[in-house]
Amino acid sequence: MNRYAFALRMARQDALRAKGRTALVLAMIGLPIGAVVTLAVLQATVDANVEGEPGSATGAESAILAMLFAMVLLEVVLLAGPAFLMDVRRRRRELALVASSGGAGRHLRAVVLASGLLLGGIAAVAGAGLGIAAAAVIVRASSGSGFGPFSVPWIAVAATMLVGAGSGLFAALVPAWQAGRMDVVAALAGRREPAAAARRGWPIAGGVLVLAGVAASLEGIRVLREFGAALGAAAIIIGLVLACPWIVETTGRLAPRLPLPLRLAVRDGARNRARTAPAVAAIMAAVAGVTALAIGGASDYRQRQVEYQARLPHGSALIRLPQGGNEAAAAAAVQRALPGVPVVPLRTLPGEGAPCLSEDTSKCLALSFTAEQAGEPSVQMMEALVGGAREARLLLGRDDPAVSSALAAGKIVMFRVRPLPGGTATATVTYWKDDRQHTSATIKDLPAVTAQGDPHVRAIVPPKAAEELAAKAGVPIGTEAVGVDRADHRVTKAEEARLKRTMAAFSPDDDPVHVERGFTESFGGTTLLLGALAAVLAIGATLIATGLAAADARPDLATLRAVGARPRTGRLLTMGRGAYIAALGCWLGIAGGLVPGLAVARPLTDTVDEVGAAPHGTIIDVPWLLLLAIGIGIPLVAACAAGAVTGGRLTLTRREAG
């Protein structure tokens, strides 16, 4: 049996024997892989809705995917690395027996690397399957809204699986190197090996990368926009990872000022940087990414809230009807879905962009009124609505005597325009042919007035005037939608859902029902998701590090028991280790993600996205409550979790001389 087959056999036996550690490593590798696969499948399914089939990634998407793979690789290595290091410490005697039986350093390295390859491969396959299944559930739960045919980008999935398997192997490199250089005599005797000397150049390189990342985040957004902040965040995270051993060593100098359990925990963490620093770095990397995403997401959410514009008076509803002969049937279905509720038919003159069923574009006529715009352009639901006081009240949300009297007098009422010279307006009828816009008719000297407010229609035309205008211009009058006035009835959420199901039979690919309820989006779900992600990664890394420390510190615990320490001292010591590792990682992560998060808020929010919204500058919204929960809540939870899974009983063991 060659050394590779022997190594795989030992790795398999150890994975089955240490089920808890195996499950933890599989989760640390498989869950990030599953998240990436889910996002890739959802993106491919969305692309299939737009293009009919998954398209090739653009340069920007490829860059984002490459950065995402790099961050996943870094996170998995930092999370799984301490687990493999703990595995080597736990298996020191077993590996020493292999060496004493004639095994060389390469055999010991092969055993550890085989564990990384085996667990990484299993986690990659399981994570990919979990990601595809999660994407399928999301698509099915969303009833296909916004998604096309379910599509799996197998190339991206295969690349992600290779990253997962490679990350498991890469995470085992340093433990394998340590196993190959093991002191066999010390391992058989149960003695510890001295801690490795710190590399002095790493903190300097890390500081340089952090400064470069801050500069890239603040200045790179001018040229690269969001990519500048993303590159800056990556540089800051990598720089802090390099500086983590020095930071851990430096914080150890604070130990004399702390209570006994924390003092011992901090000193132990600083003395054993090889197992403490990777866990701190893993928590820091995860929290830094969560912090930057939280600030960018909260700022973007705040921008949407600021720019939101009500399309109807609060409480009113509008249901667009399918065009092409089904208008009457759809209107009747709406009336059946709202029994006893007054429904207002909304007839319109065709405007620019109105649906046209003819393949000959010269027959697709559009009517518009010539008037000077007042203020910023606004989103228009309809170009010209045909109606009187009732329709005006539905759109304005109130009875306007000036508008009602003008419509009763046969005058066209126009909105968001400057006063009309001579009290008249001009109607122009156009069509497109040969990629050019042509004018088919111009009707001048139409009696018109301007009115206050913005009902999101260009004009309301009295029925008699509309019929005369349609006859002269050769344009049809059609029923485009039906409305429910809030003065008559306020549509409930249950009625809205029933309307959507009713209209899905007529226009399954659209969302024709709009009930004005104001800005109803919430950032709470995203906040909980980000907090949960940070908590899972931080607690997982903390448990790995505290488990490694507990396995490595049995002689110290025995000494404490020998000098009269109470049983709860061991549990408090474990909780102190968990709190120290989690707190240091969380606060470093918050500091590392703050600048990229503030920087990315600028390109996300400095321009107005919604037509008609008032101009605004850069909007920055820092979710302090989430950051406070991460900085204080996660260390407390991690400490309690570490104490819960670690026994408080101190078992006497024999200390070996030397």
Domain ranges of the chain: 1-190, 238-308+525-658, 317-515
Helix (H, G, I), strand (E, B) or coil at 17: helix
Q: What percent of the chain shows pLDDT beyond 90?
A: 12
- pLDDT above 70 for 31: yes
Alpha helices by DSSP H, 447-486 = 463-473
Quote the mean pLDDT of the chain.
79
Q: Which helix (H) or strand (E) holds 28?
A: helix 19-51
* Residue 524, token pair as written in the block: 């709470």
Most confident of 168-177, 192-201, 362-371, 568-577: 362-371
Cα 116 to Cα 31, 238, 269, 553: the distances in Å are 16, 23, 25, 25
Q: Which helix (H) or strand (E) holds 210?
A: helix 201-219
pLDDT at res. 55: 43
Confidence class for position 54, pLDDT limits 50, 70, 90: very low
Contact status, residue 385 vs residue 395, Cβ threshold 8 Å:
yes
Give strand pairing partners of 368: 428
Q: Which helix (H) or strand (E) holds 107?
A: helix 105-141
Sort strands 412-415 and 436-451 into parallel, antiparallel or unpaired: parallel
pLDDT at res. 44: 77
Q: List the single range of 51-55, 281-285, 337-341, 355-359 with lowest mean pLDDT.
A: 51-55
- pLDDT above 80 for 635: yes
* Residue 32, token pair as written in the block: 């990030």
Most confident of 175-189, 308-322, 355-369: 308-322
Q: List the single range of 69-78, 88-97, 224-233, 540-549 with lowest mean pLDDT.
A: 69-78
Q: List the single range of 349-363, 403-417, 460-474 with lowest mean pLDDT.
A: 349-363
Nearest to 224 by CA among 39, 70, 64: 64
Per-residue pLDDT tens digits for 60-97: 445 455 555 666 666 677 667 766 766 676 666 777 77
Residue of 469 and 563 predicted with greater confidence: 469
Nearest-angstrom CA–CA distance, 533 and 545: 18
Rounded to an integer, the average pLDDT of 545-567 is: 65
Helix (H, G, I), strand (E, B) or coil at 309: coil
Confidence class for position 390, pLDDT limits 50, 70, 90: very high
Nearest to 312 by CA among 392, 377, 376, 394: 394
Nearest-angstrom CA–CA distance, 461 and 644: 73
Q: Which residues contact 319 (CB under 8 A, 6 or more apart)?
A: 334, 481, 482, 483, 484, 499, 503, 512, 513, 514
Nearest-angstrom CA–CA distance, 321 and 327: 6
Burial of 636 (0-12, 13-18, 19+ CB in 10 A): middle
Nearest-angstrom CA–CA distance, 80 and 549: 15
Amino acid at 118: L
Contact status, residue 393 vs residue 312, Cβ threshold 8 Å:
no
Rounded to an integer, the average pLDDT of 475-503 is: 90
Matching residue, tokens 């509720």:
341
